[in-house]
Structure 1
Amino acid sequence: GADLLALNMAARVADGDQIVVGVVPPEAAPPVSSTTSGIGTSADGSGGVPAGVGGSTTGGTVDLNAATVAELDALPGVGPVTATSIVSWRETNGRFATVDQLSEVDGIGPGRLAKIRDLVHVG
């Protein structure tokens, strides 16, 4: 019964790290998986700030036109390569006009788009 969509299966873990996997309450934003190690901690000490903490969110969703690679990487089903592809698409083509334009990004097919559609917006 656990929601595994928010679990980053590619995250590096160290001995002693705790990974919390649980059931998401109805109508709640998906949890951001995290570890307690210093691996991946940024120079500013933010430690890979999860989506919803930066300035590019509205109502718990990530703004495709302002999100950083780290914020996009925190989305379920989006890893660092896909997050970088989203930012590269934005730099090459300009702002996203609709969420559906994510289908034009390399690595985002119909299934992945369906998983993240309700977690992103165009600001």
Structure 2
Amino acid sequence: MGVGAAVVLVLAVLAGAIAIAAFRPTPSLGAIGDASPTSSIELGSTNAPAAEAGATPSGEMLLVHVVGAVANPGVYEVSPGARVVDGIAAAGGLAGDADPSLLNMARTLVDGEQLRVPRIGEAPAAPVATGGAPPVGGGASAASGLVNLNTATAAELEELPRIGPAMSSRIIDYREQNGGFASVEDLKEVAGVGDATYEGLVDLVTV
């Protein structure tokens, strides 16, 4: 084979290689574009459960009715696991005539409880939670721990602060003459019940 024939053969081989490379299939832009949305969806699905896991369930706070010898009696929200001392703190702390020695400050509060802080000279009341059975007769309500003005005896009324035999008699006379007390506020209509006496009784009685 001459030199000229060898050159022609080399050129032919190069031309064939170039032709093969030119006709090799390449990935389409459509195929690349199809892969992107799948990747995006997978990322979104991974993040969603994490957000839900960090959400705080509603309704966890407890409602407690704090009454008696505290600065600001009322209904307060406290955290689950809160103790008696926390409920008293929520109500502004103890009043000057409070007797905290009668309370277990470390007791855990329950939802719907009425926490009564006794005054000096008063007997401690048992904690009251919602859902109790209604009282069956008697002046003191078994469900609320309050003295019922419409059913209490003279002796039961006299256990209340500032109520002696004369005052208990006037309270009973008023309810008999007026068909009972329509509300606790009617107590102000009883002769001798001033603002100070009323404020000392309002959290201890019911109708």
Cα deviations by residue, 1:79-117 (Å, 9 ceiling, x for unpaired): 111111000111111110000000000110111000000
Match of 2:138 among 52, 55, 75: 55
In structure 2, how many angstroms separate the alpha carbons of the residues matched to 1:22 and 1:62?
Answer: 21
2:77 counterpart of 1:28: no
Tell me how far 1:29 sits from its aligned partner.
5.5
Tell me how far 1:57 sits from its aligned partner.
1.8
Cα deviations by residue, 1:37-83 (Å, 9 ceiling, x for unpaired): xxxxxxxxxxxxxxxxx822221100110001110010011111111
Q: TM-score scaled to structure 1, two decimals?
A: 0.59
2:195 counterpart of 1:107: no
Equivalent residue for 1:41?
none
Do the aligned residues in 2 keep the contact of 1:56 with 1:63 (CA within 8 Å)? yes
In structure 2, how many angstroms separate the alpha carbons of the residues matched to 1:60 and 1:101?
Answer: 20
Q: How many residues align?
A: 86
Q: Which has the larger radius of gyration?
A: 2
2:162 counterpart of 1:77: yes
In structure 1, how many angstroms separate the alpha carbons of the residues matched to 2:96 and 2:183?
Answer: 31
Do the aligned residues in 2 keep the contact of 1:29 with 1:60 (CA within 8 Å)? no
Tell me how far 1:28 sits from its aligned partner.
3.2
Do the aligned residues in 2 keep the contact of 1:77 with 1:112 (CA within 8 Å)? yes
Q: Aligned to 1:57, what secondary structure does the other structure show?
A: coil
More helix, by proportion: 2
Equivalent residue for 2:172?
87
Q: Provide the identity percentage.
A: 40
Amino acid in structure 1 at the alignment position of 2:116: A
Do the aligned residues in 2 keep the contact of 1:3 with 1:24 (CA within 8 Å)? no
Q: Aligned to 1:114, what secondary structure does the other structure show?
A: helix
Gap runs ≥5 in structure 2 = 1-94, 106-114, 124-136
Do the aligned residues in 2 keep the contact of 1:57 with 1:63 (CA within 8 Å)? yes
Gap runs ≥5 in structure 1 = 5-20, 33-53
Do the aligned residues in 1 keep the contact of 2:139 with 2:152 (CA within 8 Å)? yes
Amino acid in structure 2 at the alignment position of 1:56: G
By relative contact order (CA 8 Å, sep 6+), the higher-ranking structure is 1
Q: TM-score scaled to structure 2, two decimals?
A: 0.37
Equivalent residue for 1:37?
none
